[in-house]
Amino acid sequence: MEHAEPHADAPDTRPDEDLVPEAPAAPTRQPLAEVQPSIALGPLDGRYRPAVAPLVDHLSEAALNRERVHVEVEWLIHLTSHHVVPGAPTLSSEEREYLRAVVTSFDGGTVAELAATERVTAHDVKAVEYLLKERLSAAPAALGRDTVLPQVSELVHFACTSEDINNLSYALMVQGAVRQVWLPAARALVDQVAAMAHANAAVPMLARTHGQPATPTTLGKELAVLAHRLRRQLRRIEGAEYLGKINGATGTYGAHLAAVPTADWVRVSRTFVEHLGLTWNPLTTQIESHDWQAELYADLSRFNRVLHNLATDMWTYISMGYFAQVRGQGTVGSSTMPHKVNPIRFENAEANLEISCALLDTLGATLVTSRLQRDLTDSTTQRNIGPAVGHSLLALDNVRRGLAGLDVDAAAMERDLDANWEVLGEAVQSAMRAAGVAGVPGMDQPYERLKELTRGRRITGDDLRAFVADLGLPQDVAARLSAMTPASYTGAAAELVRFLDS
């Protein structure tokens, strides 16, 4: 399409071709994927690594392989200790110790060895089986004497499908991550909020419902509500069940009974799963159904969402001046405004909680479905348990650090209360209702009369006291209302905080 010629009187706005720079040639960049040590793709293994590093022991790929080795070792020991397979030798304590040392000595070299094997097998669990068989072959040299360990090599992974090993490994991994890492961090946070609630139980604060001034409360009571909600979710998470199964390719013990029909395989399975510290699931397909995971992740998500509520409330209180943020002199609040201290800990927590919930919700929704007796959707899905829990753990760290950097400004709350005497309208109209029921004359339409006095306008203490004096209330009631201030109108708020300890 041709461009129309500009109007004769219009200025020529076309660029001068002599002034237009040539586009620079795109430089050849160093591929960052080739930099050593490897650069993390995600923030949990990069920027935020210090806050989430403890989860690597539980929810990383290396941790998964270590738990697989652990389960395979314990299955071998279980079979031989209980004489399940006829003719299999009983292992000595030294031989059992040697096998368990494969787990306790699992290190970077083992990780690399497994990776090299998996490149050949293209199967992760088979690589673990071959690793353990290699250790059995090496046992005579390692122990410096003859041993029966090479003879039991074919009891490694005996009658197992990969999912027998994987479901138990994931259950142990998640159990360890939650109980040893996430729960201690969550409890510490909730205890911190509870301590703040107790310390500020009697500090009066204007409440806001729908963002509007409402019946006063105390800072401590509002913090106690959040601590109480979080503790309730912690109790659910603390009571979580971690299920496991070891029953073969379709959950029927088919290979087990074909190989050793005289063994009580159901009992062997149950005692083994319980020996690992898990709850035995008697009815499964090839996979353990993962329902327990969905239940746990729903509870973790709910805790996250309550914590998100805390973060947004604290952010709002900071914006209202109810808290002063304490920062070291060397830190930067804003890159351009020197006076600012931004509530970044709470904002970062919000974002990480949202990411964590999104992942946990996806895990819970996906893991409960498996086509017929098995599909592989759970394999990739479960590898994202680490990021899901990691973003929650990072949020816990952010909120704890954010709370630690706050000072309560009671004077700011007092000023806010003193500017909103109209909130006492509720108290006066309620007292009028009670007096009217008791037969005091002139107490008709209390709500409407207070509405006329207070709605859409600011009133002072003098205005309210004058209104009360003209009502004809009993002397003691009028005196009580006249002595009331917004700061004293907090009901039982301070006493309610004690329920945190019940």
Provide the Cα torsion 8, 14, 16, 22; round to 10°: -160
**Chain Cα centroid distance, residue 39:** 26
**What is the SS3 assignment for 179-220?**
HHHHHHHHHHHHHHHHHHHHHCCCCEEEEEECCEEEEEEEHH
**Alpha carbon separation from 230 to 178, 302, 306, 325, 498 (Å, rounded):** 16, 9, 7, 24, 16
**Alpha carbon separation from 231 to 269, 286, 475, 497 (Å, rounded):** 36, 37, 45, 14
Residue whose C-alpha is closest to residue 323's, from 313, 333, 332, 335: 313
Cα–Cα distance for residue pair 81/263, rounded to 1 Å? 14
Phi, psi of 439 (to 5 degrees): 100, 5
Name the residues annotated as catalytic: 210, 334
Residues 6+ apart with CB under 8 A from 216: 204, 205, 206, 207, 417, 423, 486, 487, 489, 490
Residue whose C-alpha is closest to residue 205's, from 316, 103, 312: 316
Residues 6+ apart with CB under 8 A from 297: 360, 361, 363, 364, 388
**Alpha carbon separation from 393 to 54, 387, 401 (Å, rounded):** 10, 10, 13
Residue 259 parent element (H or E)? helix 254-259
Query: Would you say 390 and 337 are in contact if contact means Cβ atoms under 8 Å apart?
Result: no
Residue 163, Cβ neighbours under 10 Å: how many?
26
Q: Is residue 70 classed as helix, strand or coil in its secondary structure? A: helix
With b meaning 16 or more CB within 10 Å and e meaning fewer, what string describes 350-383? Answer: bebbebbbebbeebbebbeebeeebeeebeebbe
Q: Are strands 243-244 and 204-209 parallel, antiparallel or unpaired?
A: unpaired
Cα–Cα distance for residue pair 84/153, rounded to 1 Å? 15
Give 212's strand partners: 209
Provide the token pair at 63. Answer: 């941790």
